[in-house]
Structure 1
Amino acid sequence: MSQSTDERDRRWAALGQVMADHDLDALVFAANDYRGHKGALRYVSDYNLCHKYGNAVMIRDREPVLVLSGSLVSARKPPSGWVSDYRFPQTTAGGLVDVLKEADRLTKVGVVGLGQVLKVNEYLALTEAFPQCEFVDFTKEFESVRAVKSRYELEGAEESAFILDQCFDRLLEVVRPGITEREIAAEMHRVGHLLGGEDPIFLSMHTDETNEHSQSTFDSPRDRVLAPHDVHTFSFEMIGPRGYWTEFSRMVTFASPDEVSSRMAAAVRAGIDGGAAAMSAGSLPGDIQRKVLDGVESHGASTSYWSGHSLGLDVIEDPMIGLDVVEDPNQSAASTIEESMVITLHPMVQDQEGRGSGYMSDTFIVEAGGSRKLSAHPTGLHLVSRGGVSIHEQ
């Protein structure tokens, strides 16, 4: 039996157990091709949705069924062959109803993605066809199932981290004053795809100075030309062949940075270092966030944003690092960090006087006794010159 098939059986057994624990007759997995809304479908079926939307239905004690948009009927099936029953109905709403009619009993169905992903017409079709059935949002419970990664999944995260490191190697080779963001993006995309990466997210950030204030710009690469004294942030995310995300971002400049830029880079690094040191089995997301804030604030910077999250087959998964501290004080703190979680830290900081900003990200695997950073690149402001690349120290 292949490792991939072992992983399939492990996931299906975990889903079967959680269905039994919650007395569910079936699970519906909703997905669309937005990169944060299709991982559930791949988790249950190893199908990477390439366009539009799709669903899976897992009736208790049965193999899942894929219910895909009719426009995907000619799309290639996934090479793993996890699921044998692919359906391309006239409407996905009708297809979901037809599959659930095959259940021996239908009194309670969990929906992964009910609040954000399942289409309204699909929900209405389900509730109209099965008025005696209770449809419940099962997204949080599903997040708990997939939060702790298997060895197969951890290898997938390491695989994508390796790809991102090679992309950044190429950036350091080509980046120079006078090059455009698009030219850099083209090289990083080329390297990533050649190494088996898919679904890239490449963002570029810089700080625009306006009188005595600054404004951070974070967007896809454009025609902006890099200048010698600017500090540029390049953020790259991509899945590897197994479908697992990692996140990587660094700040780059060409000339010695000014005091504010240097300090903002130091603040980001201190925040990431502090959060990573606090990241171990049994720690709480809010405790990690507070260590991030301690590091950031020690350099005269601040952040009002949550500083990280888990990631896997979706680019953002639970647990969230700091959501309960900076955004939702009423959120339960029950999502304890566990061994074999994959977590990214990405504090976005600003000088307390509003003169500059900084951002970097690193992805970690939680292991016995602490965390392990996946990137081989040092965390810090990279100073690129004709003499090579060095890490600027404040």
Structure 2
Amino acid sequence: MPTLAERDRRWNQLDDLCKRQGFDAIIISGNDYRGHKGGVRWVSDYNMHHRSGHAVKIPGRPASVVISGNLAGARARQADWVEDYNFPGSIGEGLIEVLKAAPKVERIGIAGLGQILKVDEYLALTQAFPNAELVDATHDFDLLRQVKSAEEIAGLEESAYILDQCFSRLLEIARPGITEREIGSEMYRVGHQLGGEDPLFLTMYHDTLRDGNQYSSFGPPRGRVLGTHDVHTFSFEITGPMGYWTELSRMVTFAKPNADQKRLAAAVTAGIGAAQETLNPGTSPADVQRAIIAAIASHGATSTYWSGHSIGIDVLEYPWIGLDVVEDDTNTGDEVIAEGNTIAIHPMLIDEDHGVSGYMSDTFVVEAEGARKLSEHPTAFYRISKGEVHVVED
């Protein structure tokens, strides 16, 4: 469990943010979607398992949590960081009651104003405090938690350990004739057994539609039976007991892979390697993306979209790797990688002409001397044959 010293560090950061921005209070909005609930846990250590809720920090006061009223029966799941839990009839009413404790309510920062706070909650705030200014504090909050503390990095390390054990189990059971679902069920079992929560397990493969068009599919594991020549590409994301995410993805096959399968796997491996070499303090995310694209191109392949993102108590955090190179996004263009950043890298490659795809992912911690990969498994294309695991060479 995170310590109270870690809690106080975060609360002090929020108070400092309020002082800088002139906020009388800041609301950190959340819902149970995997990418939208981490902010509440960052403030309160409360893991939202259902519906929605918010953390509220008034400068100089302990944080409060406002949760949907029908979750009042889940009090046993409350974290010890916060004493003031509110289960109102409507969340808007609960936010209003908590904010009344502030000396004044003239300027309210809201992290998640655009994508998480509900319309009825926004309307309730504007009606209760008609003269108050509601300010989007999402980017401010993103910057606040971009650099991870030693405790937070320990949280990522524990989830990375869990994923490593899950992949070890996959290498034990994967074989021609097994289904994606059988593999997924074992991965889930091992993850939960070791204290993992909120797992997201996806499988990916390249196939041909009835009209002859090529496509790459990804989604939850299904009843698809793996054949001898199939490449089983999985992506597993999970939180450890402290609530921190890591990602791990590898490509696994059985028979000797063909030249194009090897080429795509080599391109992905090279892209992740280039990212690790470039993820240094002071480097821009755009430069990391360019290094990934160049490494992939050297193998005659192309990346389909952005190649990674920060990761922490939310599975998707700021900044993103490559959005400002391949498409528009929320990056401002002046982002800089810093020591203490934690980054997931996952190039996705599709070669429709040859009917192959490639995808892997690793999670890194940026340290003064460079990026440290959290997984103990080599970033590589794996082949299982005669009960043994081999790394496929280029």
Instruction: Return the TM-score normalized by structure 1.
Output: 0.97
Secondary structure of 2:203's aligned partner = strand
The 1:204–1:277 alpha-carbon spacing in structure 2 relative to 1, beyond 3 Å, is same
Hey, what does 2:375 align to over in structure 1? 375
Is the CA contact (8 Å cut-off) linking 1:93 and 1:121 kept in structure 2? yes
Displacement after TM superposition at 1:353 (Å): 3.3
CA shift for structure 1 position 214: 2.6
SS in 2 for 1:118: coil
Residues 215 and 352 in structure 2, CA contact (< 8 A), matched pair in contact too: no
- Do residues 384 (structure 1) and 384 (structure 2) align? yes
Shift of residue 71, structure 1, vs aligned partner: 1.1
RMSD of the TM alignment (CA)? 1.5
Question: Is 1:300–1:352's contact at 8 Å kept on the other side of the alignment?
Answer: no
CA contact (8 A) 1:302 1:352 kept: no
- Kept in 2, the 8 Å contact 1:213–1:355? The answer is no
Letter in 2 for 1:340: G
What's the offset of the Cα at 1:352? 6.9
State the distance in 1 between where 2:41 and 2:189 align.
25
Equivalent residues in 2 for 1:122-141 (5 A)?
A: 122-141=121-140
Structure 1 CA distance for aligned equivalents of residues 281 and 330 of structure 2: 23
Task: Tell me the SS of whatever aligns to 1:281.
Answer: coil
The secondary structure found in structure 2 opposite 1:74 is helix
Tell me by how many angstroms 1:57 deviates.
1.2
Q: Displacement, 1:303? A: 1.4
Deviates more, 1:313-322 or 1:209-218: 209-218
What is the identity percentage for the equivalent residue pairs of Structure 1 and Structure 2?
A: 54
Match of 2:303 in 1: 303
Residue 156 of structure 1 contacts residue 242 of structure 1 at CA under 8 Å; is this kept in 2? Answer: yes
The whole-number CA distance in structure 2 between the counterparts of 1:4 and 1:78 is 17
> Match of 1:42?
41
Change (3 A) 1:329 1:314: closer
In the alignment, what sits opposite 1:282? Answer: 282
Corresponding residue for residue 226 of structure 1: 226
Q: Is the 8 A contact 2:53 2:65 kept in 1?
A: yes
How far apart are residue 215 of structure 1 and its match?
1.1
Task: Give the gaps of 5 or more residues in structure 1.
Answer: none
* Residue of structure 2 equivalent to 1:203: 202
CA contact (8 A) 2:268 2:358 kept: yes
TM alignment of 1:80-229, pairs within 5 A: 80-209=79-208, 214-229=214-229
Distance 1:320 1:235 in 2: 18
Q: 1:244 corresponds to which letter in structure 2?
A: Y
Classify 1:168/1:18 alpha carbon distance in 2 versus 1 (closer, same or farther; 3 Å): same
Cα gap change, 1:3 to 1:328, in 2 (>3 Å): closer
**Corresponding residue of 1:22:** 21
Partners in 1 of 2:249 and 2:141 — Cα distance? 29
1:255 aligned to 2:221? no
- What TM-score do you get using the length of structure 2 for normalisation? 0.97
User: Partner letter of residue 288 of structure 1?
Assistant: V
Give the CA deviation at 1:213: 5.0
Asked if 2 retains the 8 angstrom alpha-carbon contact of 1:160 and 1:244, the reply is: yes
CA shift at 1:232, angstroms?
A: 1.3
189-198 vs 94-103, greater mean Cα deviation: 94-103
Give the superposition deviation at 1:333: 2.2
Relative to structure 1, is the Cα distance of residues 331 and 364 closer, same or farther in structure 2, using a 3 angstrom cutoff? closer
The alpha carbon displacement at 1:386 in A equals: 1.6
Distance 1:19-1:361 versus aligned 2 partners, 3 A rule: same
Aligned with 1:159: secondary structure?
A: helix
Measure the CA separation in 2 of the matches of 1:291 and 1:377: 23
Q: Distance in 2 between matches of 1:191 and 1:303?
A: 32
> Does residue 353 of structure 2 align to residue 353 of structure 1?
yes
Q: Report SS of the residue matched to 1:191.
A: helix
In structure 2, do the counterparts of structure 1 residues 294 and 42 end up closer, same or farther at CA, with 3 Å as the change threshold?
Answer: same
Contact 2:279 / 2:337 at 8 angstroms: preserved in 1? yes
- The one-character-per-residue Cα deviations of 1:63-89 (angstroms, maximum 9, x if unpaired) are 111111111101144565100011100
Q: Which shows bigger deviation, 257-266 or 2-11? A: 2-11
CA contact (8 A) 1:300 1:351 kept: no
CA–CA separation in structure 2 for the residues paired with 1:96 and 1:247: 34
Aligned residues: 393
Asked whether the 8 Å contact 2:214–2:352 carries over to 1, the reply is no
**What runs of 5+ residues in structure 2 fail to find an aligned partner?**
none
- Cα drift, residue 351 of structure 1: 2.3
Q: 1:79 to 1:107 in 2, by over 3 A?
A: closer
Q: How does 1:31-70 map to 2 (within 5 A)?
A: 31-70=30-69
Distance in 2 between residues matched to 1:321 and 1:181, nearest whole Å: 29
Superposed displacement of residue 55, structure 1 = 1.0
